[in-house]
Amino acid sequence: MPRFNRRVPEARPTGNAYLNGAGPCNGAGFAHDVECVRRGLGYSYLGRGKRCRGSQFSAASTRRIRINPTKETNLRTNKAICAIVTTAAALCANTAHSQNFPSQPIRIVVPFSPGGGTDTLSRIVAQHLSIELKQPVAIENKPGAGGTLGGALVAKAPADGYTLYVASTATAMTPALYKDLSYEPIKDFAPVALIGTTPFILVMNKNVPAVSLGEMIALAKAKPGGLSYGSAGFASVNHVGMELFNSMAGVDIMHVPYKGSSAAMVDVIGGRVSMMMDTIGSATQHIKSGNNLRALAATSSKRSTLAPDLPTVSELGPNGYELTVWYGLVAPKGTPEPVLRILNAAVNKVLANPDLRERYTSLGTEPVSSTLESFAALMTSEEKKWSDVIVGAGIKTQ
């Protein structure tokens, strides 16, 4: 008859004594089971309401399932190591990408048709960036839907620094104007650098019986709706800018939209509308040509270097008024920061080029350098400002 060697369980305290560190436990539940195993004791089943069997089996004799007390710790450690390795790999990839950047041509998407002010300005910058970065920088025009078609294209482009977008004051206005916009400028774009600013001038037909901004405001208050202003179109920058003026000055000057600023200016000169806000380059050319116009004030926060003798709207009242059209390059969100900084440095360098600055002056544009952070802050503040104006004025896209 075969003989069996049975281990005699060593005497151990039972019950709650184990919980105080003395020995096995008669408790039930997963928490008790794990503690028993952690203490090196066997048990019959893993939790599920079963009772510990530490009083019947010793650690040496049990053949039941055990939990490795370091298993969870090791798992967490492995996960942490994987996360570190993944992050390091990504950083290395970004570093390698930035060290070789740019290694291929760059395209700049302009959301307006060729020949306009934004297009001309962008081509000047692209020409100088090509020399600075030693890679071709090409302009791709993508007009339509108030510039939002080009924005949607770039928002979905690879975030590698090779596709850029010319954002502007109009970009900051789009979220409030287009409720079905497929992208959000602040969330979907990474600021690269400002490339310039253009102040507007408020010009008025000389036949209007007012010779200063103050007199024009007084006349508008005396005859609500008696004066009118032209714009480049509904929801255009000069439309929204004049609505801000109406609100801050407490006047009601009637809006007359046109298909472009040039058509509006023709009617201001002809006296069919009273006034309009136009870019400083265009407005000064008409004034110097002897046309029937009077410059009332610049819309920038401070006097423009292009017209230093012309006071600002804020100087003359209403205080705090500002409309400055800015232009800047942005990239798809997620573009590596080292790449953004390379592009930012290159843009700031070309903006100091004498040839570029001379050509800017002819367009009525001022070169303005920026950091990634300052440009990001400008975009955020501008979107908030113009959203409030658009909602307050009840401007809706048709």
Distance CA 350, CA 363 (A): 17
Who has greater pLDDT, 65 or 348? 348
Q: How confident is the model at residue 36 (pLDDT cuts 50, 70, 90)?
A: very low
> Which residues have a Cβ under 8 Å from the Cβ of 258 and sit 6 or more positions away?
230, 231, 232, 233, 264, 267
CB 13 within 8 A of CB 26: no
pLDDT above 80 for 355: yes
Distance CA 47, CA 28 (A): 7
Q: Which of 11-20, 108-117, 287-296, 310-319 has the lowest mean pLDDT?
A: 11-20
The predicted model scores a pTM of 0.75
Classify domain 199-324 by CATH number: 3.40.190.10
Q: Which of 323, 320, 324, 329 is nearest to 369 (CA)?
A: 329
pLDDT above 60 for 365: yes
Domain residue ranges in the chain: 111-197+328-380, 199-324
Task: Please indicate whether the domains covering 111-197+328-380 and 199-324 agree at the CATH topology level.
Answer: yes
The dihedral through the CA atoms of 300, 205, 117, 167 has a sign that is positive
As given in the structure block, the two tokens for residue 67 are 């939990």
pLDDT above 60 for 381: yes
The CA dihedral of 67, 69, 72, 78, to the nearest 10 degrees, is: -120
Q: Which of 3-7, 19-23, 86-90 has the lowest mean pLDDT?
A: 19-23
Distance CA 87, CA 233 (A): 49
Instruction: Write out pLDDT tens, residues 71-98.
Output: 555 666 666 665 665 655 555 555 555 6
Instruction: Write out pLDDT tens, residues 199-213.
Output: 999 999 999 999 999
Distance CA 263, CA 64 (A): 90
Q: How confident is the model at residue 70 (pLDDT cuts 50, 70, 90)?
A: low
Strands 163-168, 106-110: pairing kind: parallel
Query: Could you give the percent of the chain with pLDDT greater than 70?
Result: 75
CB 274 within 8 A of CB 282: no
CB 293 within 8 A of CB 130: no
What integer best gives the mean pLDDT of the chain? Answer: 84
Q: How confident is the model at residue 214 (pLDDT cuts 50, 70, 90)?
A: very high
- Give the per-residue pLDDT at 146: 84
Strands 275-279, 163-168: pairing kind: unpaired
Domain 111-197+328-380 sits in CATH 3.40.190.150: yes
Location of structure tokens 């959000």:
184
Average pLDDT over residues 295-299: 97
Q: Which of 206, 145, 191, 166 is nearest to 333 (CA)?
A: 191
Q: Which of 141-145, 295-299, 351-355 has the lowest mean pLDDT?
A: 141-145
Average pLDDT over residues 275-281: 95
pLDDT above 50 for 39: no
As given in the structure block, the two tokens for residue 28 are 């039930």
Distance CA 102, CA 161 (A): 8
